[in-house]
A and B are shown apart, each in its own frame.
Chain A
Amino acid sequence: GAGVSQTPSNKVTEKGKYVELRCDPISGHTALYWYRQSLGQGPEFLIYFQGTGAADDSGLPNDRFFAVRPEGSVSTLKIQRTERGDSAVYLCASSLTSEQGKYFGPGTRLTVL
């Protein structure tokens, strides 16, 4: 595709359920970033990948959150035992080099009831 895509665009789930959020980066982009944006706030870093490996996962709030990128392209953010506080827009971005900047996906709006 031409840009970063994320699916689903909206996800409503119940407290305690498991969810997966998917990010398709721009083809060839080696770096992939996950951010979380709560209402009225700027995005906050969760994790980023260089290729298949997580280069920095220090932003993951707790062990209920996990992300993978097994083939170095598509990434999945997994949230176990969801809580109402997990409700936010989850943003994905990708980039090739720092000089070329970062490209953002449209986000997935997660609502935990």
Chain B
Amino acid sequence: KNEVEQSPQNLTAQEGEFITINCSYSVGISALHWLQQHPGGGIVSLFMLSSGKKKHGRLIATINIQEKHSSLHITASHPRDSAVYICAVPRNSGNTPLVFGKGTRLSVIA
């Protein structure tokens, strides 16, 4: 079993739909990262959170430490949101390397 599992693997949505991407992890963590990767592009950090909820524009990330689960939500989705969304957690405590999920490929159709 992978240490970081994401679902769904692929997601196609109509513009304006509310989107949820899920992440479950099996390691103990200090903070969980949500990252965005556009085709041919580098990785952009969206959120780093260790508890509760964070919001940035139309993006919302939540985490439940007890259940080792996090969700990324996109409200009023737009074609420019089309990208791969990756969940990642540190391997150990502190400033250690990240373990990544395989990513969720999101396509938002106008």
Q: A residues engaging B (CB < 8 A)?
A: 31, 33, 35, 40-45, 48, 50, 56, 59, 91, 93, 95, 97-99, 101-107
Contact A42 B101 (CB under 8 A): yes
Q: A42-B101, A105-B42 are in contact. List 6 more A-B contacts (CB 8 A).
A: A35-B97, A35-B100, A43-B86, A95-B95, A98-B94, A98-B96
Contact B43 A91 (CB under 8 A): yes
Contact A101 B48 (CB under 8 A): yes
Contact B100 A42 (CB under 8 A): yes
The yes or no answer to B102 lying at the interface (CB within 8 A) is: yes
Q: How far is the CA of A91 from the CA of B43 in the complex (A)?
A: 9
The yes or no answer to B11 lying at the interface (CB within 8 A) is: no
Closest to B105 in A: A40
A99: which B residues are within 8 A, CB to CB? 31
Contact of B96 among A42, A48, A105 (CB under 8 A): A48
Q: How far is the CA of A97 from the CA of B48 in the complex (A)?
A: 13
Contact A42 B97 (CB under 8 A): no
Closest to A109 in B: B40
Contact A98 B30 (CB under 8 A): yes
A104: which B residues are within 8 A, CB to CB? 35, 42-45
Q: How far is the CA of A41 from the CA of B102 in the complex (A)?
A: 5
Contact A102 B98 (CB under 8 A): yes
B42: which A residues are within 8 A, CB to CB? 91, 104-107
Contact B45 A48 (CB under 8 A): no
A-B contact pairs, 18 of them (CB 8 A): A35-B98, A42-B86, A42-B102, A42-B103, A43-B43, A43-B100, A44-B100, A45-B91, A45-B98, A48-B96, A59-B97, A93-B43, A98-B31, A98-B95, A102-B98, A104-B43, A104-B45, A107-B43
